[in-house]
Structure 1
Amino acid sequence: MEKYENMLKQLQNGERESIEIQKEEFYEFREILVKHPLFKHYRGEAKQNGRIIYTYTETPRS
């Protein structure tokens, strides 16, 4: 779980451009993501085979 928190922090700080999550990791990652105070700043885009690419935006989604 700490792994995902660190990944989100790196994404927010600009140390990473994106995070790729496999379908096997999705529920564990999502549990951390929805509790994050800046949850609405993270955007997930579904790809083939259950992969999801998350990016960070300065403007929160509505």
Structure 2
Amino acid sequence: MMESEVLQLMDALRNKEVEEIRVEKDDFLSFRAILVKQSDFKHFRGIAEHNGNVRYQYLETPRS
């Protein structure tokens, strides 16, 4: 997954264009590397699924 793709997906979540995004196991590490650099990192909630896939949602209030 390219950085530009990841940033587009994150912006879509931030702007409520989509409710959640799904990240496949193979893309997780590259996605997370970009995610942790975001100033609003704590607003993203990852929900683990079977086989190493993760669904991300954007929260109005940051998680603790």
> TM-score per shorter chain, which class?
over 0.9
TM value normalised by structure 2? 0.94
Number of corresponding residues: 62
Structure 1 runs of 4+ with >6 Å offset? none
TM value normalised by structure 1? 0.97
> Runs of 5+ in structure 2 lacking a partner?
none
1:55 corresponds, among 35, 54, 57, to: 57
Q: Structure 2: how far apart are the matches of 1:32 and 1:6? A: 12
> Runs of 5+ in structure 1 lacking a partner?
none
Aligned-residue CA RMSD (Å): 0.5
The aligned residue for residue 21 of structure 1 is 23
Q: Structure 1: how far apart are the matches of 2:41 and 2:8? A: 14
